[in-house]
């Protein structure tokens, strides 16, 4: 546990010291929200801001999470990983620390979005609803960061990994329920959106907004996250013998 915290602390300090990255990480999602939520002249539903915010929250977790596999990859390519692996600290702490750091970093970014959303007119939810929203975002974050880290361990070079990131992010986002409700989607898009893991998290947060507790969705997300974490651990052990 001490190892995990030390590793997280290391990545955290590096993150906040890397100014450009920090600013873009915070400004980009906010810009999305302002642009899509306010400026876009479409109105599918009553309060489009309330509708779009869950999509932007999940997209933020997706974009910051999916590229973060490079954190472990760079540690590996540049030799830090070998230094850490030669220490008597449980080896899995490195993997756990990366997944937690990436997820928590995403949660910090989404908090900023939640605040801006309220400032520009989204409905204020009660504390329990925010708690559930965070839980969903956390589970989705663990799912995405473990997935990304596993792919990075497999691919092992940053160019193919960058290609992978680009290939996954946009299609996933535009074929999800982020931007429009299912009933206005063309049939083919609806079919894809229904099975898109992104929609899963987005729909769950929307349900929370309407006052219900999406037990099934949360259980499913937890299950997905658990499965990917186990696979990730397996790949990590295989790569580090």
Binding residues for another protein, rule: CB under 8 A, are 2-3, 6, 9-10, 13-14, 17-18, 74, 77-80, 82-89, 158, 240-241
- Compute the least distance from the CB of residue 234 to another protein, in Å: 17
Question: Percentage helix, strand, coil, to 5, in the chain?
Answer: 80, 0, 20
Q: Given the complex with another protein, which of 85 and 227 has the nearer CB atom?
A: 85
Structure tokens at 120: 């520009």
Establish how many alpha carbons lie within 13 A of residue 29's alpha carbon, considering only the half-sphere containing its beta carbon.
Answer: 29
Q: Given the complex with another protein, which of 22 and 184 has the nearer CB atom?
A: 22
- Compute the least distance from the CB of residue 75 to another protein, in Å: 8
CA-closest candidate to residue 207, choices 141, 113, 129: 129
- Compute the least distance from the CB of residue 1 to another protein, in Å: 11
- Compute the least distance from the CB of residue 87 to another protein, in Å: 6
- Compute the least distance from the CB of residue 17 to another protein, in Å: 5
Q: Given the complex with another protein, which of 17 and 43 has the nearer CB atom?
A: 17
Residue corresponding to tokens 């708690």: 131
DSSP helix/strand/coil, 52: helix
Quote the CA–CA distance of 55 and 144 in Å, as a whole number: 15
Q: Given the complex with another protein, which of 124 and 241 has the nearer CB atom?
A: 241
For 67, the enclosing helix (H) or strand (E) is none
Q: Are 27 and 119 contacting, i.e. CB atoms less than 8 angstroms apart?
A: no
Q: Given the complex with another protein, which of 76 and 206 has the nearer CB atom?
A: 76
DSSP helix/strand/coil, 41: coil
- Compute the least distance from the CB of residue 113 to another protein, in Å: 26
Q: Given the complex with another protein, which of 46 and 79 has the nearer CB atom?
A: 79
Residue corresponding to tokens 């946009």: 170
């Amino acid at each position: 546990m001490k190892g995990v915290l030390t590793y997280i602390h290391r990545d955290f300090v590096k993150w906040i010291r890397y100014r450009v990255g920090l600013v873009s990480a915070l400004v980009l999602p906010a810009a999305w929200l302002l642009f899509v939520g306010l400026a876009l002249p479409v109105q599918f539903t009553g309060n489009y801001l309330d509708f779009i915010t869950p999509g932007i929250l999940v997209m933020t977790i997706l974009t910051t999470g999916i590229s973060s596999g490079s954190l472990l990859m760079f540690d590996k390519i540049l030799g830090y990983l070998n230094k850490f692996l030669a220490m008597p600290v449980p080896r899995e702490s490195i993997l756990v620390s990366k997944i937690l750091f990436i997820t928590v970093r995403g949660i910090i970014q989404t908090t900023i979005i939640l605040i801006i959303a309220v400032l520009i007119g989204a409905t204020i939810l009660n504390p329990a609803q925010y708690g559930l929203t965070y839980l969903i975002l956390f589970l989705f974050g663990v799912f995405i960061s473990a997935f990304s880290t596993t792919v990075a361990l497999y691919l092992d070079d940053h160019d193919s990994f960058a290609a992978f990131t680009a290939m996954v992010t946009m299609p996933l986002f535009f074929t999800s329920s982020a931007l429009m409700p299912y009933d206005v989607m063309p049939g083919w898009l609806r079919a894809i959106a229904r099975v898109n893991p992104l929609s899963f998290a987005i729909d769950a947060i929307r349900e929370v907004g309407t006052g219900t507790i999406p037990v099934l969705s949360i259980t499913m997300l937890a299950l997905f996250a658990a499965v990917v974490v186990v696979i990730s651990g397996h790949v990590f052990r295989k790569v580090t013998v």
